[in-house]
A and B are shown apart, each in its own frame.
Chain A
């Protein structure tokens, strides 16, 4: 067992280090100048990239464990065994660096592994020649089970990188900005969320010079209508308009509403938020400030939950801030944001026109994700607001929660099948349990479970408590393992189910488009 643990450790840390190093080098850009001065300056520049230090840490760990391995075992075992790193490296490069490996490269890597094995395995002890199938399965599971642990480490690092800057900015406050552009706040509504009036009113209480708020509903009898009318009466100094949109352009009603709201908006800067979002008075100022950088094409926001301690709502909230916001921060760190979240979708009319407006998205299920993806694909940056917005999580039944999560997971699987499958390695709890079940000794099994709990809670705390300052997460963080387990089953189910129910109708998804499923022919 000592053999397997140290081998896995050498390979995983070594490969992880190499991948971080490659990422750091790709950030620095290509170097073709080989004069000593240029190389020294390149190395100095490299030393300022955080990923390099992470790489050095991992590679040092790998190197010293490699030395230990050499002291324990003959070189004729160590070198063939560590050639596993070629496979791990290829998989890592594909998953984390987005490199495209064609079959020629895979074949080359396989040949090299085989070759290193043959060339160096001369005097392998007979017992090691043919490890039994069980042994191979056991090693594979133990190796893969460390994947989520690295994901949690990267999550902690990514959150630290983001919030360190964000918190510093929050302390300094924003410089006074006299040329703040006027803003149109767009809110498509359907039905009422808890505390809807307070949520809406938080937008009326913005500390911002010039802005308007536009609401849209589909039905003049929608319960949101009287609430918006009360708002208009209570804030006469604000420009607030309500539209009843009857035309339906596609399967996604929210996007139909947005098409109309964008037409009606008087200002260039558009800030779209879901109905359950509540903001602080400095929100619009902080959104507008992001757009002073001309490279920014869209702004989105993380969110934290307002105190609803109903069991399922709390679990939803804990999952959102610890897991979803964590994943968003990892994505931001690794490849830059290429999506937006419904908590805030801010962009300009020009950027929207470039991607064909909301009219091009009327059938899409994950409109927030797609809006960000399309703007990013045109070469604009998507940025995260330094401060999270408040989200009011409704009290709900477990069944409704699971359905909602499942609908969301099916949506993601449909748009990013590869990435969705890769989520396998963000599910730490099932891996830790699997590792504990097949572990050759109680100590190893316990170590995997302990590592899961420690790193999982460390990541949740860094993202949700330290970073987002989420009051629900602080008190209910212990719900996390339960939520992780449920979310694993939701993830599994998302591969088996392709029909989604949304607002009373059934759809299937084709490349992100909602295709209505005709109701079954009535029996006669």
Chain B
């Protein structure tokens, strides 16, 4: 997105031009494909667990990114960031201790036709 530059949304035409610029870059499409894969997994998980149980787990990603950056790319990680990572992990551990489903078993989908 940074490659595409600052989006100008003051006029519809410039917004459209911005959209074309964004859509014609390859990394965007790779990103979209991976997001589709994510979406299917996400749907599967949501079919058997609470949303308020699943959602916080996705925060692990925010802890993993700086951690992997530190381990493999030898990036500097500030103290604040370390504390943040510990908090996220601790939060996820807490949530993992709660029952994963608190609503009733799913009912068969009603079909109108």
Contacts and interface: CB of A to CB of B under 8 A. Distances in A.
Interface of A: 18-19, 21-22, 25-32, 34, 39, 42-43, 45-46, 48-49, 67-68, 70-72, 79, 83, 85-86, 89-90, 92-94, 97-102, 104-105, 107-112, 114-122, 165
A19 B51 contact: yes
Contacts of A115: 59, 62-63, 83-91
21 contacts: A29-B105, A29-B107, A31-B47, A42-B47, A46-B43, A68-B7, A70-B2, A97-B50, A97-B103, A99-B51, A99-B52, A104-B97, A108-B92, A112-B56, A112-B91, A114-B84, A115-B62, A115-B83, A115-B85, A119-B63, A119-B84
A90 B94 CA distance: 15
A447 B70 CA distance: 45
Nearest to B86: A115
Nearest to B53: A105
A67 to B, nearest CB: 6
A25 B89 CA distance: 27
A86 B59 contact: yes
Given A18-B51, A99-B102, A122 B87 contact: no
A227 to B, nearest CB: 42
A94 B52 contact: yes
A67 B7 CA distance: 10
Contacts of B85: 115, 119
A380 to B, nearest CB: 13
A320 to B, nearest CB: 26
B46 A21 contact: yes
Contacts of B40: 39, 43
Contacts of B106: 25-30
A48 B7 contact: no
A21 B7 CA distance: 29
Contacts of B92: 108, 112
Which 10 residue pairs of A and B lie closest in terms of their CB atoms, listed nearest first? A119-B84, A115-B87, A118-B84, A111-B91, A115-B88, A108-B94, A108-B95, A112-B91, A29-B106, A93-B52
Given A25-B47, A89-B51, A119-B85, A79 B62 contact: yes
B88 A28 contact: no
A123 to B, nearest CB: 10
B80 interface: yes
Contact of A71 (B6, B46, B108, B109): B6
A25 B43 contact: yes
Interface in B56-111: 56, 59, 62-63, 66, 78, 80-81, 83-95, 97-98, 102-103, 105-111
Contact of B88 (A22, A93, A104, A111): A111
B26 interface: no
Given A98-B103, A99-B103, A119-B84, A108 B98 contact: yes
A59 to B, nearest CB: 9
Given A109-B95, A112-B91, A119 B109 contact: no
Contacts of B80: 118-119, 121-122
Contacts of B53: 99, 105
A70 B1 CA distance: 7
Interface string B1-44: 11011110100000000000010000000000000000010111
Nearest to A94: B52
B52 A109 contact: yes
Contacts of B91: 107-112, 115
B104 to A, nearest CB: 9
Contacts of A43: 40, 43
B52 A165 contact: no
Nearest to A70: B1
Contact of A111 (B6, B50, B94): B94
Contacts of A21: 42-43, 46
Given A45-B109, A108-B56, A118-B80, A31 B44 contact: yes
Contact of B52 (A30, A42, A105): A105
Nearest to A59: B39
A40 to B, nearest CB: 9
A72 B81 CA distance: 23
A48 B84 contact: no
A119 B47 contact: no
A30 B49 CA distance: 9
Given A108-B91, A112-B87, 13 more contacts: A25-B47, A29-B47, A42-B47, A71-B6, A86-B56, A99-B102, A99-B103, A104-B97, A108-B92, A111-B87, A111-B88, A116-B62, A122-B80
A122 B112 CA distance: 52
A241 B88 CA distance: 71
A105 B81 contact: no
Contact of B84 (A18, A31, A102, A120): A120
A102 B102 CA distance: 10
Contacts of B62: 79, 83, 115-116, 119-120
